[in-house]
Amino acid sequence: MLKKIRIGIFGYCRGASYVDSFLQNNADIVAVCDKRKDRLASAKKKLGDGLACYENFDDFIEHGLDAVFIANYFHEHTEYIIKCLERNIHALSECVSNATMAEGVKLVEAAEKSKAFFMLAENYPYMLFNQEMKKVYDGGTLGKCLFAEGEYNHAGNPYGSNSDAWNNMRYLYDSDKHWRCYLPRTYYVTHSLAPIMYATGAKPVRVTAMPVWSPLPADCDRASRVGEKAAIITTLNDDDSVFKFVGHASFGASDNSYRLCCEKGQIENVRGSGGKIMLRYNEWNIPKDKEGVNYYKPEWEGEDAELIKKAGHGGGDFCVAKEFLNCIRENRQPDFDIFFATRMSSVAILGHRSLMEFGTPYDIPDFSKKEDRDKYRNDTLSPFYYSDGREPTYPCTSKKDYAPTQQQIDNFNKIIKG
Check residue 161 and give its pLDDT. 63
DSSP β-bridge partners for residue 401? none
* Amino acid at position 253, single letter: A
**CATH 3.30.420.40 holds for 5-120:** no
Tens-place pLDDT, residues 109-148: 999 999 999 999 999 999 999 999 999 999 999 999 999 9
* Amino acid at position 194, single letter: A
Cα–Cα distance between 401 and 412 in angstroms, integer? 20
Tens-place pLDDT, residues 208-226: 999 999 999 999 999 999 9
Cα–Cα distance between 119 and 81 in angstroms, integer? 10
CB 274 within 8 A of CB 255: no
Tens-place pLDDT, residues 237-265: 999 999 999 999 999 999 999 999 999 99
Check residue 167 and give its pLDDT. 81
CB 194 within 8 A of CB 406: no
Scored b (16 or more CB within 10 A) or e, 372-381 reads bbeebeeeee
- Please report how the helices 101-113 and 78-86 are oriented relative to each other, as an axis angle in degrees rounded to 10: 10
CB 185 within 8 A of CB 231: yes
Cα–Cα distance between 188 and 21 in angstroms, integer? 24
Cα–Cα distance between 161 and 157 in angstroms, integer? 8
CB 238 within 8 A of CB 175: no
172 pLDDT band, cuts 50/70/90, is confident
The structural architecture, per CATH, of the domain 124-298+338-376 is 2-Layer Sandwich (3.30)
What is the overall mean pLDDT for the chain?
A: 96
Cα–Cα distance between 345 and 376 in angstroms, integer? 13
Report the pLDDT averaged over residues 91-102.
98
What angle (nearest 5°) sits at the alpha carbon of residue 203, between those of residues 202 and 209?
115
**Number of Cβ atoms within 10 Å of the Cβ of 407:** 13
Residue 123: name the closest of 279, 335, 268, 277 by CA.
335
**pTM for this prediction:** 0.97
Residue 1 has pLDDT above 70, yes or no: no
Report the pLDDT averaged over residues 43-57.
98
DSSP β-bridge partners for residue 233? 209, 245
Domain ranges of the chain: 5-120, 124-298+338-376
Tens-place pLDDT, residues 302-326: 999 999 999 988 899 999 999 999 9
